[in-house]
């Protein structure tokens, strides 16, 4: 617990996001998530301000994942605290330490990550399915049923397919993978979902090989010209 707290406290953003707390409750009163979940931005700030390590750890099991990161709290706080910013730090630390709460919350996003890797798009029409969006009610049935017909009516530049939203170049894909690796996204993914990490690593290696072959072919073409 202490190591987790130390990682939160030592983050370079921490002193910028936490300046003090009057315990006024303005952040919680204006927080959309607080109206629907057992969540209070004020509670998070108070825990960090008083350095209550055990309760901070408990809050990281569930409560920090209720935040919508809308930053209304930061805009309203008279002390210029940013509870949302502090929660972002706590979330990153929970991923770094492989906490089960992080794995449970992020697991559903695996299909989005895989779609992004394979097509360059976060979402695609074929992901709009009743099982994935139960909160959409009966209207989702209409969208899902006519999806292929509707897609064919869209201009050719969208590829008229339900598997991807638009075509992403091989160069752009390789650049995206490189950014993920350099910014630690792939390291975080390996901690949260090792199986998905292995699948994506194999796909990235294949894409890079294809890109290398494409560059070589371009060079050969220039020489012939």
pLDDT tens digits, one per residue of 60-97? 999 999 999 999 999 999 999 999 999 999 999 999 99
Range(s) of the domain holding residue 141: 108-224
Q: Tell me: pLDDT of 210 over 80.
A: yes
Tokens representing residue 25 in the block: 């409750």
Yes or no: say if 140 and 130 are a contact pair by the CB < 8 Å rule.
yes
pLDDT band at 10 (very low <50, low <70, confident <90, very high): very high
Q: Are residues 72 and 131 in the same domain?
A: no
Yes or no: say if 110 and 117 are a contact pair by the CB < 8 Å rule.
no
- Number of other CB atoms surrounding residue 84 within 10 Å: 22
Residue where one domain finishes, among candidates 28, 62, 97:
97
Specify the pLDDT at position 113.
81
| DSSP codes of every residue in 147-168 | HHHHHHTS-GGGTT-SS-SS--
Q: DSSP assignment, residue 126? A: G
The verdict on residue 22 lying in a domain is yes
Q: Are residues 150 and 175 in the same domain?
A: yes
Helix (H) or strand (E) holding 132: none
CATH of the domain at 56: 1.10.1060.10
Three-state DSSP at 61 gives: coil
Residue where one domain finishes, among candidates 69, 97, 125:
97
The verdict on residue 74 lying in a domain is yes
Q: Are residues 137 and 86 in the same domain?
A: no
Q: Are residues 129 and 59 in the same domain?
A: no
For 129-171, the pLDDT digits (tens) are 667 666 666 666 666 556 666 666 665 555 556 666 667 788 8
């Amino acid at each position: 617990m202490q190591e987790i707290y130390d990682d939160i406290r030592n983050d370079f953003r921490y002193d910028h996001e936490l300046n003090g707390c009057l315990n006024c409750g303005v952040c919680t009163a204006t927080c959309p998530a607080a109206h629907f979940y057992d969540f209070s931005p004020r509670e998070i700030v108070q825990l960090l301000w008083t350095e209550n390590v055990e309760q901070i750890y408990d809050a990281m099991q569930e409560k920090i994942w209720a935040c919508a990161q809308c930053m209304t709290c930061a805009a309203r706080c008279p002390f210029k605290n940013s509870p949302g910013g502090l929660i972002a730090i706590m979330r990153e630390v929970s991923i770094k330490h492989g906490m089960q709460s992080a794995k449970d919350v992020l697991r559903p996003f695996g299909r989005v990550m895989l779609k992004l890797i394979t097509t360059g798009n976060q979402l695609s029409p074929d992901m709009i399915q009743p099982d994935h969006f139960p909160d959409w009610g009966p209207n989702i049935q209409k969208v899902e049923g006519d999806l292929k017909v509707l897609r064919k009516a869209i201009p050719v530049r969208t590829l008229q397919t339900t598997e991807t939203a638009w075509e992403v170049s091989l160069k752009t894909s390789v650049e995206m993978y490189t950014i993920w690796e350099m910014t630690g996204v792939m390291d975080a993914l390996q901690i949260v979902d090792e199986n998905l990490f292995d699948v994506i690593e194999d796909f990235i290696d294949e894409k890079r090989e294809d890109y290398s072959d494409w560059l070589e072919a371009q060079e050969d073409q220039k020489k012939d010209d």
